[in-house]
A and B are shown apart, each in its own frame.
Chain A
Amino acid sequence: MQPGQILTDVASRRGRTGPLLSHILLLIVVSAAGAAILNALRPDRILWVEDWSHYIEAKALKAGITLANLDQTHAIIEAGRHIVFDARPRSDYEEGHLPTALPLPYDDVDLAFMTAQAYITPQQPILAYCSGIACDESYELVLFLKNQGYTNVVLFVGGMKAWVDAGYATEEGL
C-alpha cells in the first residue's frame, strides 16, 4: 500500500469515528431524556436514587414477618430453643453456615420441607436466614412456613454476611 493511500485510509476512519461517536452520544442523551420525561409523567414514577439496603426488611415487615437482628440472632442460637434453617442452596450451606443451622434450601423447598416436617411441630420456634440483606430465599421460606401453619417463625435479614462480618463462628459441612 502506498503512503498516500494509508493517509487517506486513516483520514477516512477518523472521518467515520467523529459522526459515530456523536451518534452514540445522541442515542444515549435522547434515551436518558426520554426516561426522565416518561418517569416524570407517569403516576407510578420511581425515584432516580433509592436506598435498597432495607428492601427485603421492608418487604418482610409489610408481610407481617417478625425480624431478628444480629444480637437477637446470636442470643437465639445461644439459647438453642429455635430450629435454625439455612434457606440458601445446599452447596452454600455445606461451605459454611450458622452454628446449629439445618439446610432447608428454598430452591428445592418442597422436597427439603418433606424431610424437615418430620422434626418440627407447628409451634416450634424457627429462625430462617440466607446470604445477606439482598437475598430473598429466607423471606420466601418464612412465607412458605407460615402458609404451612408454622406460627413462630422469625427472619434474620442480615444473614450469613452479617454473621461472618461480626466475627461469629460458623460451621462447615452437613
Chain B
Amino acid sequence: MNWRFLATSSRIAIGIVFLLACISKILSPHEFATLVFYYQILPHSAINAVALFVPMLELFCAFALFFAKSFREAAAWIVLIMLIVFTAAIGSTMLRGIDITCGCFSVNPDAETIGTHNIVRNIGLIILTLVVLFDARGRLPER
C-alpha cells in the first residue's frame, strides 16, 4: 500500500470537508446558533460563543492541513477532537429522540434530519484523521 499517497489524500479530503463545513456557518452565524440550540446540549449562555468560534476553528484547521506543514499535527488533533465531540452530540441527540437537522454542512433548518448516516460518515472522517495524525507523527510505514 502506498501510505504516502493515502496520507496526503486523507489530509486533503479532511481539509476540503472542514472547509466546506465552515462556509455556511460563518456566513450565517445566527442560523447556525439556532441549530446548536436545537441540539439541547449546551447551556444557553454558551450557544452563540460556540456558533461563532467552532466554524472559525474549522476554517483555520483546514488551512493548516493544506498549507502549514508544522501545524498539521496540531490541526489533526483538533479535528479529531471536534469529530469525536460532533459524533457524540449527534448520537446523544438521536438517543434523546430529538429530530433535528445536523447543521454539519448547511444551516438550512429544512435539510435532512440527523441519522446513523451522519455517525457512519464521522467515523470514516475519524479514520482519515487518524491516518493524517500518524503521518504527521512519522508513524506510518515508509512504503
Contact = CB atoms under 8 A, between A and B. Distances in A.
A37 B101 CA distance: 28
Given A20-B73, A20-B74, A35-B53, A27 B60 contact: yes
B107 interface: no
B49 A134 contact: no
Interface stretch (A44-52, A76-84, A142-150, A165-173): A44-52
A52 B57 contact: no
A38 interface: yes
A116 interface: no
Interface string A1-40: 0000000000000001001100110111011101110110
A53 B37 CA distance: 10
Interface residues of B, number: 34
Size category of the A interface is: 35 or more
Interface stretch (B5-13, B38-46, B83-91, B119-127): B38-46
Nearest to B64: A27
Interface in B29-79: 29-30, 33-34, 37-38, 40, 44-45, 47-49, 51-53, 55-57, 59-61, 64, 70-71, 73-75, 77-78
23 contacts: A20-B74, A20-B77, A26-B71, A27-B60, A27-B74, A30-B60, A31-B57, A31-B59, A32-B53, A34-B56, A34-B59, A36-B52, A44-B29, A47-B48, A48-B49, A50-B33, A52-B37, A52-B47, A53-B44, A89-B99, A91-B97, A107-B99, A135-B98
Given A27-B57, A91-B97, A134-B40, 4 more contacts: A24-B77, A27-B61, A31-B57, A35-B55
